């Protein structure tokens, strides 16, 4: 089992749609969780950290379920500029970050 | 300002060349990282420096040699690389080595080994 698993992509959605990405992690000792986005041929950029109580930043909502070892990212009212690969990232003891394989999102007009 | 800079942006080198990649951050971060990323794959950790000391080496071949001259700078020295080493090399920094801190990435150096 991979340490961090994400929904396979690509997700092709129309502008204005709501899209949800899911991620599971295997190390129950993990303490910190993040979503990064990566545009084609660019570096990963931090989108948001994920807190136990869930958190929201504009159109983006992240949830964490520690019991199920599950993280989600919801994007509402998708924009063309949201097209990117979304990486689920989890820390493991020892201070390393483990990246999921990424989910590609394509928002169409 | 969450900026990490990397030079050069692009590098083409032969298998017998020696070159260096450079990374700089001025956020006062005490942990710095080198990652390698191939197309359509997530970044793979190579090295971690914490307080200017090498703390993690992910069994990287010795043809890659990291160096941390001071708390703001990180270098990656390259020697006798193979074509399969062609990739995007990303530098990142975080406040501390503990995983609870977000990592901020530089724009990367796109390396081609001929």
| Confidence category of residue A31, pLDDT binned at 50, 70, 90 | confident
Mean pLDDT for chain A overall:
94
Quickly list DSSP for A38-105: E-TTS-EEEEEEE-TT-EEETTEEEEEETTTTEEEEEE-S--GGG-EEEEEEEEETTTEEEE---EEE
Whole-number Å distance between alpha carbons of A95 and A83: 30
Higher-pLDDT residue of A32 and A78 is A78
Mind listing the pLDDT tens digit for each residue in A36-59? 999 999 999 999 999 888 899 999
Q: In this complex, is the C-beta atom of B45 within 8 Å of any C-beta atom belonging to chain A?
A: yes
CB contact under 8 A, B56 and A102: no
Contact A87, A38 (CB under 8 A): yes
Q: How far is CA B91 from CA A44, A88, B4, in A?
A: 11, 19, 8
Chain B residues in contact with A43 by the CB 8 A cut-off are: 90, 105-108
Chain A residues in contact with B105 by the CB 8 A cut-off are: 43-45
Mind listing the pLDDT tens digit for each residue in A2-21? 899 998 789 999 999 999 99
> Which helix (H) or strand (E) segment is A25 a member of?
strand A19-25
pLDDT tens across the length of chain B (114 residues): 569 999 999 999 999 999 999 999 999 999 999 999 999 999 999 999 999 999 999 999 999 999 999 999 999 999 999 999 999 999 999 988 765 688 999 999 999 999
Mind listing the pLDDT tens digit for each residue in A70-100? 999 999 999 999 999 999 999 887 778 899 9
Q: What is the pLDDT of residue B99?
A: 58
């Amino acid at each position: 089992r991979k340490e961090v698993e994400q929904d396979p992509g690509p997700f092709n959605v129309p502008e204005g749609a709501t899209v949800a990405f899911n991620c599971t992690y295997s190390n129950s000792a993990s303490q910190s969780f993040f979503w990064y986005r990566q545009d084609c041929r660019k570096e990963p950029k931090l989108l948001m950290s994920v807190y136990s109580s869930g958190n929201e930043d504009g159109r983006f909502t992240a949830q964490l379920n520690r019991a199920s070892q599950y993280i989600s990212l919801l994007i509402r009212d998708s924009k063309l500029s949201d097209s990117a690969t979304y990486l689920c990232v989890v820390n493991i003891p020892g201070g390393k970050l483990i990246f999921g394989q990424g989910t590609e999102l394509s928002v169409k007009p | 300002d969450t900026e990490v800079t990397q030079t050069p942006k692009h590098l083409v080198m032969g298998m017998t060349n020696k070159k260096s990649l450079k990374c700089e951050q001025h956020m006062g971060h005490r942990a710095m990282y080198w990652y390698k990323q191939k197309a359509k794959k997530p970044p793979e950790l190579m090295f971690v420096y914490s307080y200017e000391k090498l703390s993690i080496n992910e069994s990287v071949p010795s043809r890659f040699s990291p160096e941390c001259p001071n708390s703001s700078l990180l270098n990656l020295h390259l020697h006798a690389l193979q074509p399969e080493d062609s990739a995007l090399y990303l530098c990142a920094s975080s406040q501390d080595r503990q995983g609870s801190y977000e990592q901020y990435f530089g724009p990367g150096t796109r390396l081609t080994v001929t």
